[in-house]
Chain A
Amino acid sequence: MTNKEWKFTTKDIAVKPDLFKSGHRACAGCGPATVFRMIMKATRGPTIVTEATGCMEVVSSIYPYTSWGVPWLHTAFETAASNASGIEAALKIMKKKGRLTQEHVDVIAFAGDGGTYDIGIQALSGAVERGHDFLFVLYDNEAYMNTGIQRSGGTPHGAATTTSPAGTAIPGKLEYKKPIAEIMVAHDIPYVATASPYYWKDLLIKVRKGLEVEGPAFLHVFAPCPRGWRSDPAKSIEYSKLAVETCVFPVWETVYGERQLSTPSRLIALAPQRKKPVADYLKGQGRFRHLFKPQGKKLLEEVQRITDQRWQRLLMNCGMPQKP
Chain B
Amino acid sequence: MQDMKKQEMLALAGDQAVAFAVKQSDVDVVAAYPITPQTIIVEKFSEYVANGEVQTEFVCVESEHSAMAASLSASATGARTFTATASAGLALMHEMLFVASGCRAPVVMAIANRALSAPLNIHGDHSDSMAQRDSGWIQMYAENAQEAYDSIIQAFRIAENLDVLLPVMVGLDGFTLSHTLENVEVLLDSVVKQFVGTRKFPNVLTHEGKNAPFKLDPANPMTMGPIALQNYYFEFKRQQEEAMRNALKVIKKANSEYAEISGRSYGNGLVEGYRLEDAEVAAICLGSTAGTIKTVVDELRKEGVKAGLLRIRVFRPLPFEEVRSALQNVKAVAVMDKCTSFGGNGGPVFHEIRHALYDRTDRPYIVNYIYGLGGRDTSPTELRSIYEYLQRVLQTQSVEKNIQYLGLRD
Which residues of A does B touch, CB under 8 Å? Answer: 46-48, 50, 57-58, 61-66, 68-76, 78-79, 81-87, 89-94, 96-97, 99, 101-102, 105, 122-123, 125-127, 129-130
Q: With A68-B223, A82-B73 given, is the CB distance from A89 to B31 under 8 Å? A: yes
Question: Using Cβ atoms and an 8 Å threshold, which residues of chain A touch B28?
Answer: 90, 93-94, 97
Whether A66 and B72, one on each chain, are in contact in the complex, defined by CB atoms closer than 8 angstroms, is no
Count of chain B residues near A, Cβ 8 A:
45
B79 on interface, CB distance cutoff 8 Å:
yes
Partner-contacting stretch, out of B1-9, B183-191, B225-233: B225-233
Instruction: Please classify the interface of chain A as helix (H, G, I), strand (E, B), loop, or mixed, using the class held by over half of its residues.
Output: mixed
CA distance A319 to B67 in the complex (A): 40
CA distance A83 to B224 in the complex (A): 12
Whether A85 and B73, one on each chain, are in contact in the complex, defined by CB atoms closer than 8 angstroms, is yes
Whether B70 and A83, one on each chain, are in contact in the complex, defined by CB atoms closer than 8 angstroms, is yes
Question: Using Cβ atoms and an 8 Å threshold, which residues of chain B touch A48?
Answer: 77, 216, 218
CA distance A101 to B99 in the complex (A): 27
Cβ contact of A82, chosen from B70, B76, B103, B220, cutoff 8 A: B70
Whether A93 and B227, one on each chain, are in contact in the complex, defined by CB atoms closer than 8 angstroms, is no
Q: List 6 A-B contacts (CB under 8 A).
A: A63-B226, A79-B73, A89-B31, A90-B79, A93-B28, A93-B29
Whether A85 and B78, one on each chain, are in contact in the complex, defined by CB atoms closer than 8 angstroms, is no
Question: Using Cβ atoms and an 8 Å threshold, which residues of chain B touch A82?
Answer: 61, 65-66, 69-70, 73
CA distance A67 to B28 in the complex (A): 30
Question: Using Cβ atoms and an 8 Å threshold, which residues of chain B touch A96?
Answer: 55
CA distance A61 to B72 in the complex (A): 19
Q: With A48-B218, A70-B218, A86-B29 given, is the CB distance from A93 to B55 under 8 Å? A: yes
CA distance A94 to B201 in the complex (A): 15
CA distance A130 to B61 in the complex (A): 8
Measured between C-beta atoms, what is the minimum distance from B81 to chain A in Å?
A: 8
Whether B76 and A73, one on each chain, are in contact in the complex, defined by CB atoms closer than 8 angstroms, is yes
5 other A-B residue contacts (CB within 8 Å) besides A81-B66, A90-B29: A62-B226, A63-B228, A73-B225, A74-B224, A93-B28
CA distance A73 to B77 in the complex (A): 9
CA distance A73 to B224 in the complex (A): 5
B277 on interface, CB distance cutoff 8 Å:
no
Q: With A64-B207, A82-B61, A91-B77 given, is the CB distance from A126 to B55 under 8 Å? A: no
Closest 6 CB pairs of A and B: A126-B62, A86-B73, A86-B70, A46-B218, A82-B66, A90-B77
Question: Closest B-chain residue to A101, C-beta based?
Answer: B219
Measured between C-beta atoms, what is the minimum distance from A234 to chain B in Å?
A: 28
Question: Closest B-chain residue to A58, C-beta based?
Answer: B227
